[in-house]
Amino acid sequence: MKCALVRPDGVAVRTERHPTDAARGPAAVIDTILDVADGLIGKARADGLTPVAIGIAVPGVVDEARGVAVWSANVGFRDVPLRDLAVTRLGLPTALGHDVRVGGLAEARLGAGRDA
């Protein structure tokens, strides 16, 4: 997993990488995602920052409107309400998106596609 704390202006103030260890099963991957997000929230607060939202991007079929990871062969997800799980555990508004779509949006807004 690639993870980051990103300011509203798009600048990443902290980046991390963590293994998903998908072989442990989808429940363990969900726990890892939420544990890492919780850790980043704690680091942000320790640095005097106030987290305002969470964005999670996963591979596979994603229902962004419902916040559900519908299916992913990579990590074994099937109908996982990941957005609601994150909101419940972490208490912040959360968006769930497809990894390639989210990457494209980030590139357009913050990367090589900016101003194009």
Question: What pLDDT digit, counting tens, does each position of 34-91 carry?
Answer: 999 999 999 999 999 999 999 999 999 999 999 999 999 889 999 999 999 999 999 9
Q: Is pLDDT at 109 greater than 90 in this prediction?
A: no
Helix (H, G, I), strand (E, B) or coil at 20: coil
Helix H or strand E segment including 83: helix 82-90
Domain ranges of the chain: 2-110
Q: Is pLDDT at 33 greater than 90 in this prediction?
A: yes
- 83 with 70: CB under 8 angstroms? no
The predicted model gives 93-103 an average pLDDT of: 95
**CA-based Rg of the chain, rounded to a whole angstrom?**
14
Topology of domain 2-110, per CATH? Nucleotidyltransferase; domain 5 (3.30.420)
Neighbours of 51 (CB within 10 A): 16
How far is it, in rounded angstroms, from Cα 110 to Cα 61?
25
Query: CA 96, 104, 14, 77 torsion: positive or negative?
Result: positive
